[in-house]
């Protein structure tokens, strides 16, 4: 069984993804509009869900941040994630987090840090886990 990724590496991957998306949108805004305004950075709100929904499906469970930290998302069965899996993981869990006024996010972070399997609320909703890359994963890229 693959080693599951803990809180720190998952958090780092998320921070890297946020930086990548924000910088990309900022640079594009600069070249398209000449300056970077707060209004143009609202594109981040449109691009970020697509990035988190589609990229892991296309790229075998990876986002750019996850690739850089050598972790990826898989189903509990060990299979690659699907669009439905990522919909559950990102959209449905986002609704749950919103309905709990953010308390669910805090609980989820503690779950990753405390639970032996390092699974968060969104992992349970989608039937996923985040694991470290293995030699086989590196060879299949």
> pLDDT tens-digit profile of 74-120?
999 999 999 999 999 999 999 999 999 999 999 999 999 999 999 99
In-domain check, residue 118:
yes
In-domain check, residue 1:
no
Show the domain range for 68: 7-139
Structural domain total, the chain: 1
Residue 60 sits at φ, ψ, to 5 deg, of 65, 40
In-domain check, residue 103:
yes
- Do residues 57 and 119 make contact, with C-beta atoms less than 8 angstroms apart? no
Q: What is the pTM of this model?
A: 0.91
> Strand (E) positions, the chain?
71-75, 128-132
């Amino acid at each position: 069984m693959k080693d599951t990724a803990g809180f720190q590496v998952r958090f780092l991957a998320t921070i890297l993804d946020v930086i990548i998306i924000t910088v990309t949108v900022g640079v594009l805004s600069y070249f398209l509009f000449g300056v970077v305004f707060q209004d143009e950075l609202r594109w981040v709100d449109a691009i970020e869900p697509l990035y988190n929904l589609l990229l892991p499906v296309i790229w075998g469970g990876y986002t750019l941040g996850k690739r850089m930290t050598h972790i990826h998302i898989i189903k509990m069965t060990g299979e690659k994630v699907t669009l439905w899996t990522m919909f559950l993981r990102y959209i449905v869990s986002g609704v749950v987090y919103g309905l709990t006024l953010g308390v669910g996010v805090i609980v989820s972070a503690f779950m990753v840090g405390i639970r032996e399997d390092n699974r968060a609320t969104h992992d349970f909703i989608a039937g996923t886990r985040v694991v470290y890359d293995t030699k086989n994963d590196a060879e299949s890229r």
